[in-house]
Amino acid sequence: MNLKSVEPSSSTLQLVASDMSDIMDNLDTHTNAPGTCHHFALCFSTCCVTEGLPFKEIYNTVGFKETEAKVYLSSPITVKILEVERFTSSMPAVYKIEMKHGEFTWLVKRKEKHFIDLHRELRTYKTFMKIPLPRSHTVKRNIPLRSEVSQIPELPRGGDGELDRGVSSRRKQLEDYLNTVLAMPMYRNYHATMEFIDVSQMSFIHDLGPKGLEGMVLKRSGGHRIPGMNCCGRSRMCYRWSKRWLVVKDSFLLYMKMDSGAISFVMLFDKEFGIKMDSKDTDTKHGVRVDSLSRSLVLKCNSYRHARWWGQSIEGFVQKYGSAFLKDHRFGSFARVEVNIPAKWYVNGKTYMEDVANALEEAKEEIFITDWWLSPEIFLKRPVVEGNRWRLDCILKRKAQQGVRIFVMLYKEVELALGINSGYSKRTLLRLHPNIKVMRHPDHVSSAVYLWAHHEKIIVIDQSVAFVGGIDLAYGRWDDREHRLTDVGSVTLSHLEQVTSSIYNGKGVFTVADSMDQPRLKSHGRLRRTRMSIRRHLQKHGLAHPDSDTSDPVQNEPAGVGELHGNTRFWHGKDYCNFVHKDWIQLDKPFDDFIDRHKTPRMPWHDIASVVHGKAARDVARHFIQRWNFTKLVKPKYRSLSYPYLLPKSHTTAGEQRYQVPNCIPTKVQILRSASDWSAGIKYHEESIHNAYVHVIKNSQHFIYIENQFFISCADNKYVFNQIGDAIAERIIRAEGKKYRVYVVTPLLPGFEGDINTGGGSAIQAVMHFNYRTMNRGDHSIISQLKREMGDNWINYISIAGLRTHTDLEGKLVTELIYVHSKMLIADDNTVIIGSANINDRSMLGKRDSEVAVIVEDSEMVDSVMDGEPYKAGKYALQLRLECFKTILGTYTDPTIDVSDPISDHFYKEVWMSTSARNASIYQRVFRCLPSSDVRNIMELEGYLAKAGLDREDPARAQEELKKIRGFLVQFPLQFLSEQNLLPPIGSKEAMVPMEVWT
């Protein structure tokens, strides 16, 4: 965009004007008959669509001079010169031009010189294309009165009324000229024309929002706010200037290489956004500096006025269309509160993974996935009755083959400390299809990040549907409300087996897979034909409706057992796990068991997740995009064009929901996160999850219900810094004398490999130390704080519990704790926080692990009860709490258990406290299980375990006792190893790592 001052001579203008007129009438003589221009415009108007180019085109950009570049829509481009600016009489006029194309409107400013330059380019282009350009004298000879039309009035230099009439006439001439040129495909598609009207392949993509500003700039290298990346680039000797095409959209800017069309940088606008144009700020003449949390980008223009125009235009456009991104939102979040967002919760992995599978199947453009751990071979719908159709890697391959771009970010673990083998996951996914791209981060040596992890669990579909929660797409996570301990592996038929027994070899049993077999149904086609024949057989006997089957192999139905009953093989190979008993090994052999499922029960997995849509999903996608682009920047192996920069869709199109997860509830949603320089490349860290937890707890009126994998809090500002535990204690103290309850459900043991019968090992004990330090040990603990204020009355306000279950395994009674992996808070049946963040410093402080969560506030109220009184509860929060309470208290097996009133004395004492105490007591009598408050130190362990439980002494009586169990809730053993120093012993490897690893 060249705005240098040039005053063309009168003779030059006459010649150019003559040629302009020739172009208007004769340039299209080889392609259009006389009058065709009108028909062409009419065709445009009748075929006009409001939609822009499809979003997928961002991945198909080519060099700006390439003829296959997709730039325009089917509708015409119209031009109107709004005004003419002249700053002084000696300076050339600047024409302010409004352009319209479909749903897009934008402004450009051009001088007379730019029209002359464009026309010269078009003449050269026409000559090059061997299309004869008529000379002006020929036109005059053939067309009478052409001399009048081609005459261009001289530009008077005075300031009288003639000037106004002259400028007005000239404006109309240039307007007509440009409209005519843009009506001709040959010249409209020429790169010089596109540069003149500031358009590119990014201009008219509907999902990128308003067209924004575009043009050629020089950009300076460096300016990134990334540790270790700015050792060079701070002095003029290190600067490197490059010519780029700049595109400014409503929430980001990008620049492209014109020769290849490749996007070579993306900057997301945020609360640090600012424009500076002084030379002391830009360190260059005619410079513009654009600031964000991730970079200070310096652009160089060719004049002072040009720089002012760019700076003011960028700032004005972003303030007009993207102001929501420039504010520090509630809780310090990068995302604002969005209203009327369809949202849904999930308790346990079964329904979550089913909805994820169905949503993945609906993807049309992009899939974003980031997990702490991802296992490519897990099945998202179980039991496995459709071969590999709903296996994660098969779904992703299928979608990639359909043209969907899939981007996966995995945490790159310290291999000596963790055995999740992200390298295997990456290699497996990359082999599936070129449309699948996988990054791992961080590189521990180059980034000097050894202690912290990417802990988020996100799946985003087309930037319109976003799953956020605690459930990785990994082994061991799939579970349902039954929390089975065993899975020995067959499917038995119900009342239909007489009809279909012959099809199933007369045995009435259809075996999905044996314990050591890979559940890969190689004869998938034969299986499908068999299923169809079964369907026809059932129809023949009147047991299935003739229209109940469909030819479409994709069925987005819940993958329940259906007609199949009995002990179904739900967990194949490595998916059958008990990580306290034995950690995962040989993950490259996914379908080989590593635990004897005939002797060892699996460890059930209790977890929570959510899905949001629309603008909230856009915000989740924006976070993913920020992390992806940052990783691409800092890891040289990802700088190739095969790993593209990602672009956020505009919030203006977020309401155009093509797919929505069924059974959602309209809510108010805000996306929260823990992010910092190492994890997202931002200048200031964000701890909005921590802030939201503290705020919700402090402002709760009736109760809070917490499920979390860890419970490490109560700040001493030495080892622990998050304030969640202190907020709980403070809120309870404030409530003394009034009804207020706090429920905390957390794992009975930390999730580390170790034999608790011998103490569990240093890692388990280290986490136990900080958990107990939060609960009841030491002056900083919640219960200690409460005792100082209210004595033993604390027990009427807070309950801490775990989950446990039991079953019969090969004729032997077995028990196991249920691993609570949730990261959830419910307050007052109207506010919910669900995410990946544990209650510990790692997750909450922002500078450590990266996390994402959603806070959901109800906007749809329903009738409920609170302390015996009518209460308007939020539909989302209430239904979630009821599902959790019904599951863990046993309402689904004993409907007499009433969980509707969360704070009444009857519920708190006679249901919650009574059930947890009774269940814990029965389990201790029957199994002598650990952890137990009867064991205060390691010396007492041997004596405790030496005494046999009823499971060995009297199995029949044990069975009778276990019938009294309701649900899974058990009291937390607050006195377990209370006399033992649980910190890692000096000399152990656990003692050698920094203390913040455990907090």
Any idea which residues carry the catalytic annotation? Answer: 455, 457, 462, 821, 823, 828
Distance between CA atoms of 825 and 803, rounded to whole angstroms? 17
- Calpha distance 333→689 (Å, rounded): 8
Per-position DSSP letters for 67-132, written without gaps between them: TT-----SSPEEEEEEEEE-SSTTSPPEEEEEEEETTEEEEEEEEHHHHHHHHHHHHHHHHHTT-P
DSSP 652-682: GGTT--S---SS-EEEEEEEEEEE-HHHH--
Mutual orientation of helices 688-699 and 724-734 as an angle, nearest 10°? 10
Range list of β-strands (E), 683-784: 686-687, 703-708, 741-745
- Neighbour count for residue 934 (Cβ, 10 Å): 15
How far apart are alpha carbons 267 and 569 in whole angstroms?
48
From residue 903, how far is each of 258, 587, 800 by CA, in Å? 65, 46, 15
* Residue listed under structure tokens 């929570």: 608
**For the chain, percent helix, then strand, then coil, each to nearest 5?**
35, 20, 45
Q: What is the side-by-side strand order in the sheet with 94-101?
A: 77-85, 94-101, 104-111
- CA–CA dist 488, 362 (Å, integer): 34
Cβ-based neighbours of 267, under 8 Å, separated by 6 or more: 252, 253, 254, 290, 292, 294, 295, 297
CA atoms within 13 A on the CB side of 428: 19
Instruction: Return the C-alpha torsion angle 532, 533, 535, 537, nearest 10.
Output: 170
Per DSSP, the three-state class of 510 is strand
Which residues 6+ apart lie within 8 Å of 731 measured at CB? 697, 698, 700, 704, 740, 742
90 CB-side CA count, 13 A: 0
Separation between Cα atoms, residue 751 and residue 768, nearest integer Å: 10
DSSP class of 373: S
Q: Is the Cβ–Cβ distance between 803 and 969 less than 8 Å? A: yes
Give the number of C-alpha atoms closer than 13 A to the C-alpha of residue 411, restricted to the C-beta side.
Answer: 27
CA 673 to CA 687: how far, in whole Å?
6
Task: Give Dmax (Cα) for the chain.
Answer: 119
The residue to which tokens 């499917």 are assigned: 491
Backbone phi and psi for residue 577, each to the nearest 5 degrees, phi listed first: -145, 155
CB 385 within 8 A of CB 379: no
783, HSE (Cβ side, Cα atoms, 13 Å) = 17
Q: Which of 898, 875, 896 is nearest to 885 (CA)?
A: 898
Q: Report the Cα–Cα distance between both ends of the chain, in Å, rounded.
A: 55
Instruction: Give the separation between CA 371 and CA 409, rounded to whole angstroms.
Output: 7
β-pair partners for 849: none
Tokens matching residue 611: 């899905």
The 252-256 sheet, strands edge to edge: 263-268, 252-256, 241-248, 213-220, 296-300, 287-291, 274-276
- Count of residues in the chain: 999
Alpha-carbon distance of 184 to 166, in angstroms, equals 28
